[in-house]
Structure 1
């Protein structure tokens, strides 16, 4: 468990920061569709649910991706 917390706090590569932000945007759009105050067709609400889940997964995986510096093999 401690390793996961350390990975979440470690620096994230630039590509995965962008990917994380895209995931957060997808999750926000999906949540907005699901919480819409008007009745939407079933297909639209299903897509909203998939967007929310996919955005959450992409954001979580991107946040846990870290950079590691390889140690010199001659040491």
Structure 2
């Protein structure tokens, strides 16, 4: 079981070092922008309604997930197991 987990982790590490396709680079940038917008809403120095802070939290979550998934995308040709 441990060997299987190590193989999966090394696979993710190899994916991070490969080139990302252009579409996923754009998607990664969009995720970073969403996370930045959410962070600025949550960390605003003025009192905001609770719904705005909740939406900011969701933007942070969505942006970070999009960024992480986009970073691991590679062309099948470039990645061989």
TM-score by length of 1: 0.89
Q: Where in structure 1 do 4 or more consecutive aligned residues deviate above 4 Å?
A: none
- Taking the aligned partners of 1:21 and 1:32, their CA distance within structure 2 comes to 17
Alignment of 1:37-52 (within 5 A): 37-52=45-60
**Tell me, what secondary structure is at the counterpart of 1:18?**
helix
Deviation at 1:31, TM superposition (A): 0.6
The RMSD of aligned alpha carbons is 1.1
Show structure 2 runs of 5+ residues with no match: 1-8
Number of residue pairs matched by the alignment: 70
- Taking the aligned partners of 1:9 and 1:28, their CA distance within structure 2 comes to 24
Q: What's 1:33 paired with? A: 41
Higher helix share: 2
- Taking the aligned partners of 1:59 and 1:69, their CA distance within structure 2 comes to 22
TM-score by length of 2: 0.83
Task: Check if 1:62 corresponds to 2:73.
Answer: no
